[in-house]
Structure 1
Amino acid sequence: MERAEEGFGGGGILRQPPAVWATAGASVVAFMGIGLVDPILPSIARGLDATPSQVSLLFTSYFLITAVAMLVTGFVSSRIGGRRTLLAGLALVVVFAALAGTSDSVGQLVGFRAGWGLGNALFVSTSLAVIVGAAAGGSAAAILLYESALGLGMACGPLVGAVLGDASWRYPFFGTAALMAVGFLCIAVFLKDQPKPARKTSLLDPIRALSHGGLASAAAAAFFYNYAFFTVLAFTPFVLDMSPYRSGAVFFAWGVLLAVSSVLVAPRLQRRFGSLTVLGGSLVLLAADVVVLGYGSHTTAVVCTVLSGVFIGVNNTVFTELALGVSDAPRPVASAGYNFVRWFAAAAAPFFAPKIEEWSNVHMPFVVAGVAAALGALVVRVRRGSLVPAAVEPAPERVAPEGAEVLAG
């Protein structure tokens, strides 16, 4: 972890202007929102008299809007600037998170969660560039700070959801709205207007970028992988059927392992074995893990859920670096095209997993997830020739900035 050592060694990571800390703090809360609902999914189902498949639409609506928004975020930020894009995203999250807490039906909650997803997409897609642009002490320190913020958010989301959700499933939504409102005020006060890019991004630029065979291959493999990832995230809470506190503890441990493996483990494995070998092996291990999760005892399911964080963290890091290094498209455009494809799987898995259980049994959703992860490994193997340049060419300074995004999954 050369960039980590650089950031800590120079002390630059802690010597940041208020604008950077404000954006990083808001990033923590933004990524908390992904796993926030995990521990309270069963509580929401009971509170609104809904089925697991209905409640899982909270993830489907969120990520479906996020996927489509990938085509819009670059278009917007290249025209109104980073600061205004951040504030617009935060404002949407505040409004729709608060409205989600007032929902009286699953339909309302799903709709408000979709609006939340749009706001989060605008914020997350812009925040890294803003942090790097405003940071002191070099980009390495800024990137490490952002990676740490994302890891903290992914780990703490389920924990905060459990603590607040133990009193009422509505409180996590109100809590998120309050925290994001604070983030909005901090960014409005401390962050100055950001320079607009020289070239404006069109809505179709991310789609055009996918005409590159390597980027399309990385996106296709990531699509299958993300189906497995979000089966674990969105469906497992119903299988574990634990109290909010216990479920929050499980997914907190999962998030910690995800963050550690993404920031510390994956780069070491890549240097030793190569990116494609690490990715293929990690996908196969994830496939085995989710199948065992589906067929094991309750204790085994808990262990496999937590352990999956290791494989997910490694996969996220390698996939993002491959996607950003395989084509000559500008980094934001390549990232948008790649994320446009993979987030559709994040929307599909929470919808289909409960349906598959209804059509068959509780084991089959995890079998399907395991097959999906194995198909991802197969794509990596078959399309290895088109992905090799991404594995060997990018220098750390090229791939590192977007590497911070991987903790979002």
Structure 2
Amino acid sequence: MTASSAHATTASPFTQPRAVWAVAFACVISFMGIGLVDPILPALSEQLHATPSQVSLLFTSYLVVTAVAMLVVGAVSSRIGAKRTLVVGLSIIVVFAALAGTAGSVNGIVGFRAGWGLGNALFIATSLAVIVASASGGFAGAIILYETALGLGIAVGPLLGGELGSISWRGPFYGVAVLMGIALVATVLFVPSLPTPATPTPLTAPLAALRHRGLLTMGLTALLYNWGFFTMLGYAPYPMELSAIRLGYVFFAWGVLVAVFSVFVAPRLQGRFGTAKVLYANLLALGVVLAAIGAGVDRSWVVIVAVIVSGAFIGINNTLTTQAVMLVSPVERPVASSAYGFVRFIGGGLAPYAAGKLADHWDLSVPFYVGAAAFVLAIAVLATGHRLLEAAEQGQSEADEVLQPTLEPVGTAAERGTRPVVVAVGSTSDAEGVVSAAAEIARTSGSPLEVVHVRETAVVEELAITPEDERDARARLVGHLDRLAADGVRASGLLLHSVGDHAAAGRVLAQHADEVDARLVAVGSSPRGAAAQLAEGSLTTALTRSVHRSVVLLRSGEPARELRADPAGGLVGHPAG
């Protein structure tokens, strides 16, 4: 390691300005939205003298309005700005959550939940972008903070709903109104105004995007997945026959698994087996879980265990389905997210209503069997786009409707007939030190250095964002090349544009390293930390498994370590020879 890399460290994701904390707090409350009402469903049915099918309309109105609103939120945000969109969304949630608490009938709550869904769509479509734009110390920390907020919201929502619901079914609604009110005030006071895009998003863009086969295929897959998912979420509380607070604990355990498997397990499985294979197995597992609920609907313990276990598969599916959408979508990330969100939320909204009708005409097991069939049917729909997805993931597709990861030369062209040292970096605070350390390796071996700046898409749940502007990425890469030239290092640059998932970028980088017969490939520490680099890695894991040459990890103040794939699909580090 050189002296310049010894002091380079990655900023803590939790050292952020007040604007980021204000939006992160609102994110926690927003992600509570679905799970918050689950523990009070039986109480609503009993105290308001409503059937489960009538109560299920709380999901239907909320999700259908969210779905339709997803078609326009991009156009709205691009015209009035992200902060105004956030403020409007939060204001709507506060008003309609409070009104839901004052309602005297199920129909009243259903109507107010529809308004809540509109506010939620405006909020979720802009919250990640605002956090990334307002964050200090690089976007990686902002993504980690957003994922933390997501995990807390999903896990704590049912717990808070159960606690407040044990006092009154009105408690969760008033609780959301108060907490979102606090978030609204903080957002107004602390979040600065953000610039609007130079070109507003057309209103028709999301619907027009669905003309592309890959995006439509993944959207329909997600619709069927959400059919099964919201069937379980809307009807599993009834056969459990638990109090509101105990239902809260069950769904708290479920939420913990959703969060953990979404953030930590899904990327590792994707890097090891590929997106399509993991989704096939995951959807089949969910079908089995839902069928088990149908078969054991008269035994509460079966339903409880099945619901908790399903959290693992739901977490994996939420992450990888969105990854797949970004891989096969030839449109801008916000447009793809809006189109995909519209289709998937439609499925989630219609499922509880249809399940209620099925339960009314037959019995409570039938909706779960139908939901299980929806998961299996989702496998068949996904299979129709298998070649498209697999080719896009491997960076080998020639289809016009798939964007491939691309390597764009920047600066002086690479020397032909040489064996360069290739170093891959992103917009992290230790990038300069990693490049300097790689330059020392290149100088020692008498090789030129090739600097690859990776500009990736971050995917969290149904949202996808490319946090680094192309001009900023190019400027950072030129800065590295200028410093190397001043030090007398022979160097060239490449800008790697990723299209959707980190593993795809890793495989493209591996292919390039093999093509230029690189002496070795160097990478820096993961923005998520060293543990993530060696455990789930994603880009680094895919690179290490695919490339036919050494991959070395360069970390501040430590000797270089050679990375190798272990049999379990992760990475292990050894001192570099």
Q: How does 1:347-386 map to 2 (within 5 A)?
A: 347-386=349-388
CA shift digits 1:44-78 (9 cap, x unpaired): 11221111111110000000000000011011100
CA distance in 2, matches of 1:304, 1:241: 15
* Residues 218 and 324, structure 2, Cα contact 8 Å, conserved in 1: yes
In structure 1, what is the equivalent of residue 21 of structure 2?
A: 21
* Residues 321 and 390, structure 1, Cα contact 8 Å, conserved in 2: no
SS at match of 2:283: helix
- Structure 1 residue 162, shift from structure 2 partner: 0.4
1:284 lines up with 2:284 in the alignment: yes
In structure 2, what is the equivalent of residue 126 of structure 1?
A: 126
Q: How does 1:5-404 map to 2 (within 5 A)?
A: 10-296=10-296, 297-393=299-395, 398-403=456-461
CA distance in 1, matches of 2:235, 2:457: 32
Structure 1 letter corresponding to 2:334: P
Structure 1 letter corresponding to 2:115: G
* Residues 325 and 389, structure 1, Cα contact 8 Å, conserved in 2: no
Structure 1 letter corresponding to 2:311: G
The structure carrying a bigger helix percent of its residues is 1
In structure 2, what is the equivalent of residue 5 of structure 1?
A: none
CA distance in 2, matches of 1:264, 1:145: 14
CA distance in 1, matches of 2:455, 2:40: 39
Scaled by the length of structure 2, the TM-score of the pair is 0.67
- Structure 1 residue 298, shift from structure 2 partner: 1.6
The structure carrying a bigger strand percent of its residues is 2
List gaps (5 residues or longer) in structure 2. 1-8, 396-403, 406-453, 465-577
* Residues 240 and 301, structure 2, Cα contact 8 Å, conserved in 1: no
CA distance in 1, matches of 2:323, 2:455: 11
CA shift digits 1:113-155 (9 cap, x unpaired): 0000100110111000000111111111111111110111011
Structure 1 letter corresponding to 2:36: L
* Residues 95 and 177, structure 2, Cα contact 8 Å, conserved in 1: yes
CA distance in 2, matches of 1:105, 1:398: 48
SS at match of 2:196: coil
SS at match of 1:37: helix
Structure 2 letter corresponding to 1:247: L
* Residues 287 and 369, structure 1, Cα contact 8 Å, conserved in 2: yes
Scaled by the length of structure 1, the TM-score of the pair is 0.95
* Residues 241 and 300, structure 2, Cα contact 8 Å, conserved in 1: no
CA distance in 2, matches of 1:120, 1:295: 35
Segment of structure 1 superposing worse, 251-260 or 134-143? 134-143
CA distance in 2, matches of 1:376, 1:392: 23
SS at match of 1:16: coil
- Structure 1 residue 397, shift from structure 2 partner: 5.2
Structure 1 letter corresponding to 2:141: A
* Residues 275 and 318, structure 1, Cα contact 8 Å, conserved in 2: yes
SS at match of 2:64: helix
In structure 2, what is the equivalent of residue 3 of structure 1?
A: none
Structure 1 letter corresponding to 2:92: L
Segment of structure 1 superposing worse, 55-64 or 233-242? 233-242
CA distance in 1, matches of 2:139, 2:378: 32
CA shift digits 1:203-230 (9 cap, x unpaired): 2100111111111110011111111111
CA distance in 1, matches of 2:142, 2:128: 9
* Residues 35 and 154, structure 1, Cα contact 8 Å, conserved in 2: yes
* Residues 42 and 237, structure 1, Cα contact 8 Å, conserved in 2: yes
Segment of structure 1 superposing worse, 380-389 or 269-278? 380-389
| Structure 1 runs, 4 residues or longer, greater than 4 Å off | 393-397, 401-404
- Structure 1 residue 401, shift from structure 2 partner: 4.2
- Structure 1 residue 405, shift from structure 2 partner: 3.6
CA distance in 1, matches of 2:463, 2:329: 18
- Structure 1 residue 389, shift from structure 2 partner: 4.1
Structure 2 letter corresponding to 1:224: L
CA distance in 2, matches of 1:399, 1:290: 33
- Structure 1 residue 107, shift from structure 2 partner: 1.1
CA distance in 2, matches of 1:290, 1:184: 38
SS at match of 1:14: coil
Identical positions, percent: 50
Structure 2 letter corresponding to 1:89: G
CA distance in 2, matches of 1:105, 1:214: 43
- Structure 1 residue 239, shift from structure 2 partner: 2.1
* Residues 27 and 153, structure 2, Cα contact 8 Å, conserved in 1: yes
SS at match of 1:175: helix
Structure 2 letter corresponding to 1:260: V
CA distance in 2, matches of 1:277, 1:211: 25
CA distance in 2, matches of 1:397, 1:303: 41
Task: Indicate how the Cα distance of structure 1 residues 390 and 316 shifts in structure 2: closer, same or farther if over 3 A, else same.
Answer: farther
Indicate the RMSD between aligned Cα atoms, in angstroms. Answer: 1.4
CA distance in 2, matches of 1:160, 1:402: 23
- Structure 1 residue 386, shift from structure 2 partner: 2.1
CA shift digits 1:272-305 (9 cap, x unpaired): 1111100110000000011011212321111100
* Residues 326 and 389, structure 1, Cα contact 8 Å, conserved in 2: no
List gaps (5 residues or longer) in structure 1. 1-8
Structure 2 letter corresponding to 1:398: E
CA distance in 2, matches of 1:392, 1:221: 21
SS at match of 1:380: helix
Q: For this pair of structures, how many residues does the alignment match?
A: 398
Structure 1 letter corresponding to 2:363: N
* Residues 150 and 404, structure 1, Cα contact 8 Å, conserved in 2: no
- Structure 1 residue 378, shift from structure 2 partner: 1.3
Task: Indicate how the Cα distance of structure 1 residues 390 and 224 shifts in structure 2: closer, same or farther if over 3 A, else same.
Answer: farther
In structure 2, what is the equivalent of residue 6 of structure 1?
A: none
SS at match of 2:168: coil
CA distance in 2, matches of 1:162, 1:10: 39
CA distance in 2, matches of 1:355, 1:321: 34
